[in-house]
Amino acid sequence: MLGAVTPPATPPAPLPRRIAHLDMDAFFASVELLRYPQLKGLPVVIGGGRRREDDVLARLREAYPERDWSDGDLSRIPVDFFPRLSGYTGRGVITTATYPARQFGVGSAMGLMKAAKLCPQAILLPVDFDEVRRISRLFKSTILEIAPVMEDRGVDEVYIDFTDVPGGQREGGRVLARLIQKSIFQATGITCSIGVAPNKLIAKMASEFNKPNGISIVWPEDLEDKIWPLPCRKVNGVGPKADEKLQGYGIHTIGELAAREPGWLIEHFGKSYGHWLHEVSWGRDQRPVVTESEPVSMSRETTFERDLHAVRDRAELGAVFTRLCEQVAGDLNAKGYAGKTIGIKLRYDNFQSVTRDVTIETHTADAATIRRQAGLCLKRVDLSRRIRLLGVRVGKLVKPGTEGEEASGYSESHSTRPPKDKATDEHTDLLFPELD
């Protein structure tokens, strides 16, 4: 008699996706508050330049020569000693601001002179990039000890796949989020906010719901109540121009966007972007959490202390332009990449920005080639106006030897070359005579 046959086991059903977006709270400012705890609860703005380690101590010794100041005394510096935004003059922009400063309308990327009008009493501190990078590495390594599938999205934010991590399904991910929050605070002394949702799209929006030091859980059935009432600009990928166009059609919220037929969106926004708008308005996003990703471009740019002109400031602009090209080439070589799309970015004194790029036949990481091609791009813009910012970018990157496997995800935008303008060409030739 044959023995009983055991039927094959039914594989367990896959767990529902739970994706977290973690954002450090006012990260650059929080790093400074670790150094200066006496500033907690006050409006503080970070920006305007790079911190030099001995600046504060040197000024302290000058102001209070009777005391012997050292790094251990920073927490005892009187609040009145710190510089204020009031009367600030310069070209700097805000990197970040504490939440008390944000209550006055001050925010990231705002010019410091404008911020000074909104919140003159705010304390202004420069950026300490070395310390920011150190703490960034520390909080990310803390996460990886708990949840191994993490996507690095910059110095202060990450995506984490909670799906198969212990505690990642409990209370929709809240249990694991609490553990990560607590662990990061213990390691760094800085708080973070976490949104947990079925995908990256909604998780990023959710991380903003309860800032600072908050946790927000969104389920698929929460789309109508929690997501649809939000402005379209809350969708990562809807920029100012797209939002303005949407509003022109009477579409202000994500719910109003979801109410439009896919065909109408494709007709008015193009096949790819129109389809994407329809998908995200319904909360659909299948992008995985990517633990390793290739850069799609590398760039360098600088904002000038004063507006520069191609004729009157020819030498200074030319030197800056050469340095930017050399820095980009250095970045490419240091990280082992080459690119074939080379472009420039200018911002004029009226804050209007323009970009131009060109794609060459072969990939390069050569500074001279980058400068030559970027210079040709400059011949396609108006150089009769004063310039506030200049930048150089190399895209369509590959590792040398893999030129047939270009990094995916690169979105290239070629600008139509305008008719030649004699004044523009004259200014370009003065600044870049080797392009004749």
Active site residues: 157
Q: For the CA atoms of 30, 36, 41, 46, what is the dihedral angle to 10 degrees?
A: -50
Query: Vertex 273, ends 267 and 276: CA angle to 5°?
Result: 110
Specify the 3-state DSSP secondary structure of 293: coil
Least Cα distance to 337 among 414, 391, 393, 378 occurs for 393
Residue 395 DSSP symbol: E
149: tokens are 């599938």
Q: Which residues contact 197 (CB under 8 A, 6 or more apart)?
A: 18, 19, 21, 203, 205, 206, 217, 218, 219
Least Cα distance to 196 among 221, 233, 168 occurs for 168
Contact present, 173 and 162 (Cβ < 8 Å): yes
Contact present, 397 and 281 (Cβ < 8 Å): no
Bridge-based pairing state of the strands 123-127 and 44-50: parallel
Give burial (CB, 10 Å; 0-12/13-18/19+) of 436: exposed
Contact present, 252 and 232 (Cβ < 8 Å): yes
Least Cα distance to 143 among 292, 321, 22, 12 occurs for 22
